[in-house]
Amino acid sequence: MKRAANFLEKAMNVIFTFCGFIAIAFVVLVTVFLLVSGIPAIKEIGIFNFLFGRVWASTAQSPSYGILPFILTSVYGTVGAVLIGVPLGLLCAIFTAKMAPKGLGTVIRNAVDLLSGIPSVVYGLIGMILIVPFVREAFNLPDGANLFSAIIVLAVMILPTVISVSETAIRSVPREYEEASLALGATKTETVFKIIVPAAKSGILTGIVLGIGRSIGEAMAVMMVSGNVANMPSLFKSVRFLTTAVASEMSYSSGLQRQALFSVALVLFVFILIINLILNLVVKKDVK
Amino acid sequence: MKKIMAFLLAIVTVGAFAGCGTTEVDENPSGTVSQVVAGSVTTDGSTSMEKVIGFLSEAYMEENDKVKVTYNPTGSGSGIQAVLDGRCDIGLSSRNLKEAEAEELTGTVVAIDGIAVIVNRENSVSDLTVEQIGALYRGEIENWKELGGNDAPVVLIGREAASGTRDGFESITGTEDLCKYTQELTSTGDVVQTVASNPNAIGYASLASVKDSVKVLLVEGVKPTTESIQSGDYKIQRNFVFVTKKDGAMSSACEDFFNFATSGEADDYIIAAGAVPVER
């Protein structure tokens, strides 16, 4: 009996270790795969032409593979989403953590959780049916599928991440800080902006960085509202993101076009890596 | 715990046997006995032909349950290449074969696809020439009033770069690589939906996918219908082609399916799939 138990113990140990390594294996697999399949096209096109080329015409007679429009669109879209989403999310987090009556706070928190669980295709659908026609009429444009609509959708999509991470950070600020500030005669608003928010800074930053990650990696929702034309970005022009560039062409692509799409994915991967590095730095600072 | 291990082992064993089973079936060569056709037919190619090949293969497999017809949606170019490489039995192409390709391959038209040009129901324009449509998509006509419509900017809706419908539309209207799209959408449904919701939009889609929510334009006075497409009066149309090797002999299953798909029997299924059968 004991021997059997021993055997089981060892077997389970192997299984646990195996599962642990699977996570690493997938990261390595993805990285190696992207490098191997992404680099040839960059070599063939030339890294400068690829990253800074302004024209993407992958199926034209004389194809051109410049992804600057995609990179800039992804950057602008993310910055726009952060500009709108972060103040909204932060204020919402402060409200739920510090101001809201208990019952209302719980309702908002549940709503935020629900918001984060909504599949991106649903966001895209609502954006396509409601936001795109609204933007068209509000700004008197010929068409509402543009960068601005995408920014609105992305801003809503990063809200739950920003809200829940910053709320946790705000809640973990020691109560004494707040009490001391109030006791010294500061108003509630002063306390919130001068004491609590600075004290919760690194947590809030983590929320923002995670929001950026979500926004730059989003494909489905922006594909449905941004129009998908490889223009250099401008607020009311139809644009294509890094993610949607891969998603919209991959299914039929072949040859160099296909390889170039892998290269686009590689660039996107590098972006995500950088964001994760920043996140690590933010969190490390917090520990110190 | 022991029970769990035994259970896992059982699953693995069953899985292994199941694997053996399928290989055996696959290796089973087509019977030499007349009448009974068995084996597999692999098709590969145009994504635009998905519906047509789906209806045809389903109908065929219902009659001939020993034959398995598979379809790999890759695109016309890849499908043609796959036949050349011998990776599939029948290549599916939504364009006619180029001269160089026709040296080694045979193309057989199985159906015709009419591409409808659609506008919003509020648009007063109802009849355009192929040249006018081309000029619209090249960005030479930017306002509907130039075509007798309202004073409103033209919004050009199209498909993504490698779409078969886009390829068909652009090659017929002479707008290859010249289109100034406002939106490039990844499905026919999206195109119809977008045109239905934007009063200034114009789009294109396979005739079969067009719904009442949009207005179908006449092209040079001809309405896209089965008859006008078969007779060639409706200009914006393309062929759905079965591509086979000139020298390679087809397996009996493949030949049987090919004959079925190109016979009058297939017409109803082609219509059900939204394409137009060839005139026989």
Task: For residue range A150-188, list pLDDT tens digits in order.
Answer: 999 999 999 999 999 999 999 999 999 999 999 999 999
* B133 and B180 assigned to the same domain: yes
pLDDT of residue A255: 76
Name the residue of chain A whose CA is nearest to B46's CA. Answer: A252
pLDDT of residue A106: 92
**Residue B156: how many other CB atoms lie within 10 Å:** 26
* A7 and A119 assigned to the same domain: no
Q: Which two tokens stand for residue A168?
A: 């946790």
Q: Provide the percentage of residues in chain A whose pLDDT is more than 70.
A: 98
Largest CA distance in chain B: 81
Nearest to B75 among A128, A227, A252 (CB): A252
Overall number of domains in chain B: 2
* A126 and A213 assigned to the same domain: yes
* A46 and A86 assigned to the same domain: no
* A129 and A30 assigned to the same domain: no
* A100 and A44 assigned to the same domain: no
**A61 or B16: which leads in pLDDT:** A61
- Whether B188 contacts B208, CB under 8 Å: no
* B94 and B171 assigned to the same domain: no
> Which of A216-220, B75-79, B272-276 has the largest mean confidence?
A216-220
* B50 at interface of A, judged by CB pairs closer than 8 A: no
> Which residue in A143, A231, A253 has the most chain B C-beta atoms within 10 A of its own C-beta, making it the best mutation to test that interface?
A143
Q: How far apart are CA B132 and CA B147, in angstroms?
A: 8
pLDDT band, residue B6 (cuts 50/70/90): low
> Which residue in B183, B187, B188, B198 has the most chain A C-beta atoms within 10 A of its own C-beta, making it the best mutation to test that interface?
B183
Name the residue of chain A whose CA is nearest to B166's CA. Answer: A59
pLDDT band, residue B91 (cuts 50/70/90): very high
Overall number of domains in chain A: 2
* B187 at interface of A, judged by CB pairs closer than 8 A: no
* B136 and B218 assigned to the same domain: yes
pLDDT of residue B38: 82
- CATH number for B210: 3.40.190.10
Residue B16 has pLDDT above 70, yes or no: no
* A29 and A151 assigned to the same domain: no
Chain B residues whose CB is inside 8 A of the A142 CB are 152-155, 182, 200
* B104 and B138 assigned to the same domain: no
Determine the length of chain B.
280
Residue B12 has pLDDT above 70, yes or no: no
Range of the domain at A129: 68-287
| Rounded alpha-carbon distances, angstroms, from residue A22 to A18, A41, A247, B186 | 6, 29, 26, 34
- Smallest Cα distance from A142 to chain B, Å: 6
pLDDT of residue A287: 57
Q: How far apart are CA B18 and CA B12, in angstroms?
A: 10
pLDDT of residue B23: 37
- CATH number for A166: 1.10.3720.10
pLDDT of residue B3: 53
* B96 and B192 assigned to the same domain: no
pLDDT of residue B48: 76
Tokens 């590095």 locate to A277
Q: What is the ipTM of this complex?
A: 0.74
* A136 and A204 assigned to the same domain: yes
> What's the pLDDT tens digit per position in A252-271?
676 788 889 999 999 999 99
Question: What does the mean pLDDT of chain A come to?
Answer: 90
* B191 and B91 assigned to the same domain: no
Q: Which two tokens stand for residue B89?
A: 């039995």
Q: Provide the percentage of residues in chain A whose pLDDT is more than 90.
A: 74
Name, in order, each residue with C-beta under 8 angstroms of A145's C-beta and a sequence gap of 6 or more. A128, A132, A225, A226, A227, A238, B182, B183, B194
Return phi, psi of residue B71, to 5°: -135, 130
Name, in order, each residue with C-beta under 8 angstroms of A217's C-beta and a sequence gap of 6 or more. A243, A268, A272
Q: What is chain B's alpha carbon radius of gyration, rounded to the nearest angstrom?
A: 23
pLDDT of residue A142: 87
* A82 and A145 assigned to the same domain: yes
Residue A247 belongs to a domain: yes
pLDDT of residue B27: 39
pLDDT band, residue B218 (cuts 50/70/90): very high
* A20 and A134 assigned to the same domain: no
* B142 at interface of A, judged by CB pairs closer than 8 A: no
Report DSSP state, residue A98. Answer: I
Query: Is B183's CB within 8 Å of A228's CB?
Result: yes
* A225 and A89 assigned to the same domain: yes
* B224 and B267 assigned to the same domain: no
Nearest to A249 among B155, B160, B185 (CB): B160
Global pTM reads 0.76
Q: Which two tokens stand for residue B195?
A: 């045109």
Residue A100 has pLDDT above 50, yes or no: yes
Calculate mean pLDDT across residues B190-207: 90
* B138 and B151 assigned to the same domain: yes
pLDDT of residue A281: 87
pLDDT of residue B187: 81
Range of the domain at B249: 2-111+241-277
* B48 and B89 assigned to the same domain: yes
The H or E element that residue B238 is part of is strand B237-245
Residue A61 belongs to a domain: no
| CA distance between the termini of chain B | 68
Name, in order, each residue with C-beta under 8 angstroms of B227's C-beta and a sequence gap of 6 or more. none
Q: Give the pairing type, strands B90-93 and B67-73.
A: unpaired
* B230 and B157 assigned to the same domain: yes
* A20 and A150 assigned to the same domain: no
**Single-letter amino acid, residue A106:** T
Q: Is B8 helix (H, G, I), strand (E, B) or coil?
A: helix
* A95 and A47 assigned to the same domain: no
Residue A83 has pLDDT above 60, yes or no: yes
